[in-house]
Amino acid sequence: MFAIAQSELIQVFRNRLVLVTMLIVPAASSAFYMYLHDRIPGLDLGAVAAVLMFLVVAMGLYTTAVTTLASRRQNLFLKRLRSTAVDDTRILSGLLLPVTAITIVQVAVILTVLSVVADPPAELLLLVAAVLATVIMMLGLALATAGVTNSPEHAQVTTLPILVGVLAVSGWVGFSGTEEFSLVKRILPGGSAAELVVNAWNGGVAFADSLVLLAPTLAWVVVAVVLATRVFRWEPRR
């Protein structure tokens, strides 16, 4: 698994498009939101943190994971790996480990900078739980999306619904709260995770009440994994 991960990490830094998607775009977007926080008095810091997290995880992890899996399937690399003694779980883990690790580091750095230039989160453990749950959810959705993605170019289309959807939901929940349409906001992908980040950063909500918000996110993980097992393909579609 680690040999696959090392090889994949090398490929990530050789692919300029993936590198831009994974590193430059999220960093630039995050800098923009931090700029807004400095220029707009009273801007909700928890909402900013939620949107920043989803920008990095959705654009850096989700789209890159789908593109990577589609590319490796197209050039028959997945098929060759599957003919070895390495099982399916280790193959996928090795392929997705580098992008996952880079994303977690990105999120940690960006949120740390935000806590330094503004105020730190009230509940750090809750924030960590929210980030990890979001990463797992987006990995599951990436596997499911990769199952219906024929090529890296096709990934630019197949990733759009979930990419735009989770970013819109996180911004909706983060900046408008869940006083209205609370059930709808929480069951949509990214809604409960965004609320959890807001609660973790701003405080004022009981730890146990916030922890319950992990359930919808983990439910989406189950849905995504079930979909992935049904639609994921190891060889190119004919």
**pTM for the full model?**
0.89
**pLDDT band for position 238 (50/70/90)?**
low
Give 120-179 pLDDT, tens digit per residue.
888 899 999 999 999 999 999 999 999 888 888 888 899 999 999 999 999 999 888 877
Q: What is the pLDDT of residues 197-228, one digit of tens each?
A: 999 998 877 777 777 888 898 898 899 889 88
Q: Give per-residue pLDDT as tens, 7-51.
A: 777 776 676 766 676 677 667 766 776 676 666 666 678 888 898
CA distance 200 to 222: 24
Nearest CA-CA partner of 94 in 6, 224, 225: 6
